[in-house]
Amino acid sequence: MGRIFKIILRQRPADVITIGFLLFLLTLALMFYHDIPKAQFLISLYSILIIAQVIIARFKNRGRLMGLLYDLLFPITCVLVIFDSLEWLVHYVNPEDIDSILIRLDYMIFNNHPTVLLEKITNPLLTDLLQLAYSTYYFIPISFGVVLLLNDQREKFARTLFLILFCFYLSYIGYILMPALGPRFTINHLQTAELRGFIVAEPIQKFLNWLEGIKRDAFPSGHTAITLLVLYLAYRFERSYFWIFLPVVSALIFSTVYCRYHYVVDIIAGFGLTLLTIFMGEWYYEWWLKQSQDHSRIKDY
């Protein structure tokens, strides 16, 4: 046990949380082996990612390419691959969608469906702008990480990477525990007008539908949680970028309902997920720093 503890302390928290979450998914695939059609594929996929994480961490100092792979390319790949794999996992582990509950909660708050209410302000230009804002979700975390690396802020980058990965993985657990399709699938028949853009809205929608598929990833809103977390980190570490991100993130969060990807209660849950990530993640990171420093002092002594 002591040896395992020492090994964990030698790894950065981002690596530990990634391996831990992959082991969790691997366990699910094994437990529900007979229910999941692609169980063998998922077991192989998660095992390969775990092995790759260990190898890349071991050789991270072997040149700039390995360093880039360790810092950015593999974490990005891991998040995307895991997210894509949820399409073959979630519905077979937990087939009970909670959309009906989320729809009722939204209706209780607004006395109507928010996506239907927003039809009053829809127009092609606004749809184009908000669809673009929604798409920035894929670039905001990466761009902030790149800024920290370019400024050689290694400790801040390590903390940022851990918190972002932690938030992603918590949101994925949310999808497994509380699967939901979202209003674009469940209450589309109640909409009286389609979302039409001038130029970019439809191509982006089609691309995202192809890229994301049907993941049951509405609750909580990862778009909300991740981008709010980046806002928090930007405010702490790079204040000027906070003011750049603020209007984009505000538009992005509004777009999740306007573009019919999320219920409003998904957004509220996304705020909660950000707070949970900060509270639990910061506590663990500080604990890890203290334990690592204490371990180093004992070793030096």
Helix 74-85, helix 39-58: angle, nearest 10:
170
Distance of CA 186 to CAs 16, 102, 249, 263, 285, Å?
A: 37, 11, 26, 11, 39
- 26-58 tens-digit pLDDT: 999 999 999 999 999 999 999 999 999 999 999
Q: What pLDDT score does 301 carry? A: 38
Tens-digit pLDDT profile for residues 150-207: 999 999 999 999 999 999 999 999 999 999 999 999 999 999 888 888 888 888 788 7
The length of the chain is 301
pLDDT at res. 297: 47
Per-residue pLDDT, averaged over 265-289, amounts to 96
Higher pLDDT, 121 or 1: 121
- Percent helix / strand / coil, the chain, rounded to 5: 80, 0, 20
Q: Examine the pLDDT at 299 and tell me if it is beyond 60.
A: no
Give 217's strand partners.
180
Residue of 185, 269, 215 lying closest to 83 (CA atoms): 215
CB atoms within 10 A of CB 121: 8
Q: Which residues pair with 180 in a beta bridge?
A: 217
What percent of the chain is predicted at pLDDT more than 70?
92
* Residue 1 pLDDT greater than 60, yes or no: no
pLDDT at 195: 86
